[in-house]
Structure 1
Amino acid sequence: MSAQDRPRLAAVMGWPVMHSRSPLMHGYWMEQLGLSGGYIPLAIEPGTLGPALKALHPLGFAGCNLTIPHKQDALAIVDEIDEVARRIGAISCVVVRPGGTLFGTNNDWLGFLGNLYEAQPDWRADSGPVTVIGGGGGARAIVHAMLSEGVPELRLVNRTQARARQIADTFGGPVTVLPWEDRHDALDGVTLAINTTSQGMVGMEPLDLRLDALPAGAIAADIIYTPLETPFLAAARARGNATVNGLGMLLHQGPPAWKLWFGLTPEVTPELRARLERSILGR
């Protein structure tokens, strides 16, 4: 069987993983491009990621995405890590090299930027300060995205200030760490405010953030997509601010992965977005 005739195989590994919308998204692209193959959710228990990743090559997989809780653990397992994943401190995409070695990178930041520019194409990184709320892996990916675009000032706010300081120390540049009690005022004068915490996700408490200081022309963004509109975004929309939810971040991190796995760049289409939205809404 020639390489061209082989089915394209990729996966997402997580624990849990069956809630992931990634198989629906990648399956759509397989269908649209007329490819044989599949994108499979693999429930990999914590502590067993190493054997799972090593099995990708003999099983014919081109690579996989990683989700909670495996993104950090993969750093010590793969054979090669690019500078982006090293700085972010997490791997979201693993590529199986022809000889079976594993390469790790992080496409979450590309997903965020693709989503932001699709929804708000007039936003400019150099137009003013940006506030990022959170101190986890999502925050690190967003900080990398914002600094790569050249924001002049990035205000970082997290409940545990020490974690925010670790991010600031890693990335350097125009990152200012503010205490949690100053989070409301941290929105003053910004062009973009981004929630990277899990607050507002289905089953979680809403983000405790007053929007009084948020400028009328600022954008409110969230990396959460269940629900499609978090209380944070709903409050911002109600006062007239433009909003960006997290679904597009999932959508836009897909094409860079396909480029690495299959040498193809699928399109993020309105039909695909609508299909995922219906799935999230249970329709």
Structure 2
Amino acid sequence: MAVPLIAAREIVKSYGHVEALRGADFTLRPGEVVALIGDNGAGKSTLAKILSGVERPDEGTIEIDGEPVAFGSVEEARSAGIETVYQDLALCADLSPAANFFLGRERLKPGLLGLLGVLDNAAMRRAAQEACERLGVRLASQTTPVSALSGGQRQGVAVARAVTWARRAVFMDEPTAALGVVQTRLVLDLIRSVRDSGVSVVLISHNMQDVKAVSDRVEVLRLGRRVARFDTANVSMEELVGAMTGALGAQEDGGPGVPGQDGERGRGA
């Protein structure tokens, strides 16, 4: 087996007396879409925040390409090639798509003007437009404020921005939440395009139809631990829901139940 792109083992995270993660594991391999699912409070968002540098674990280890890492900030995770599309998208509504693309990474004009701090707005607009076109994100203009875009277009801008800077992986937290049918289909197509571009994707979602539509594998969290893993093509909706709730016997210590990764049955954390 190839060395995992990201491997997290025995991750523990508490907030006061609340145990968000109780020895959680997670694996992401190159060139795949992995869905991270679980009921409310299972620890999905906490684990994603730890793997993207937003939070630090209390215990456990993280490896990138087989090498141990300890992210102290979002910037350190970004330096490792990991970007995140947050549920609120983290876009500045009054700025254009191009300005959002390069926020904090602005390009300066060459020569003396650059030394004086003059931005190369034309170059940033061209680069942002090219990135959007590569992923099939259709925008009428790179100068229109983000607030004037549709929900699907805003999601597209956030995803295209993340992919522009990601070298290894993109985490997407509920990317189709509050979107209509047409916009959801566009976002799912966008996720496929991201994978096809060579960037792995972690999809955090409650929508099992989305999970089945675009993921290659599914990892299930329950009560702060990974309790099951599946190849998406070989698992049913009922089995996914059963693993999330514990109804099918996928126990935290690896009891009998649903098929797991590599043909195993009821593989636990």
Normalising by structure 1, what TM-score? Answer: 0.29
Higher strand share: 2
Normalising by structure 2, what TM-score? Answer: 0.30
